[in-house]
Amino acid sequence: MRIGDIEKIVENKYSLLLFFLVSLSVISIITVNNAPLHFAVEAVLSLVVFIIMLKILKASRGLFNLFLVLVFLALTFHCLTVFFLKSRSVSIIAMLVYILMLLVLITFMVRRIFSERMVTGDTIKGGISVYILLGVWWQFIYVLLWMLDPNAFKCLTGEVGRTDFFYFSFTTMTTLGYGDILPVAYAAKVFSTLQALAGQIYIAVFVARLVGLHVAGHSSKK
């Protein structure tokens, strides 16, 4: 790969991340009925993407090493639950590690995006990427609640499954809420309410930040 190609990738880092996130979502949907293949796509490929993005975004050495440790733990526990053990405790530990790992990544990305001094198309795509990652993070929260209490959620069309929470997370965060999946347990109600609030607050703050940077950029040119 030429130096110019690398510079172009770094310049459009958030566009690359958004492309990866959309691609992984599509592949994950296609492989949802094949557990081993779904694991390989959803876990291994996504973690490799996040590691690459931390490198491109120039994360500190300490943060990068912490993320690598969390990746190793997440893959180890997830692999054990998919291929070797059918342990509820190990599955819960794996999900806790995923939640912590994704929280570290989201926090780092939010700080980087909100520290940008110019509004570009790539910056906007970065904000969209964070919004998608937030939805996935809340999805992991709901899966954890469901693991702890299988009756925490109720589906009007049948039993609630692990794959239903991606749909539930984004319909909650966008406040769309079709009502076919309902939070029943108190913890599920609290977290779904917090997600709806977080989704609206993030959009409001992100848009306000973009407008502020745009106004500041025009003022500096005059």
Q: Would you list the domain boundaries of the chain?
A: 3-221
Query: How far apart are alpha carbons 137 and 73 in whole angstroms?
Result: 17
Q: Model confidence over 96-142: pLDDT tens digits? A: 999 999 999 999 988 888 887 777 778 888 888 899 999 999 999 99
Determine the pLDDT at residue 52: 80
Q: Model confidence over 62-77: pLDDT tens digits? A: 988 998 898 888 888 8
Residue written as tokens 């997440």?
74
Determine the pLDDT at residue 7: 45
Positive or negative: CA dihedral 6, 108, 148, 164: negative
- 67, HSE (Cβ side, Cα atoms, 13 Å): 22
Under CATH, what is the fold of the domain 3-221?
Helix Hairpins (1.10.287)
Query: How far apart are alpha carbons 156 and 152 in whole angstroms?
Result: 13
Identify the band that residue 218 occupies on the pLDDT scale cut at 50, 70 and 90: low
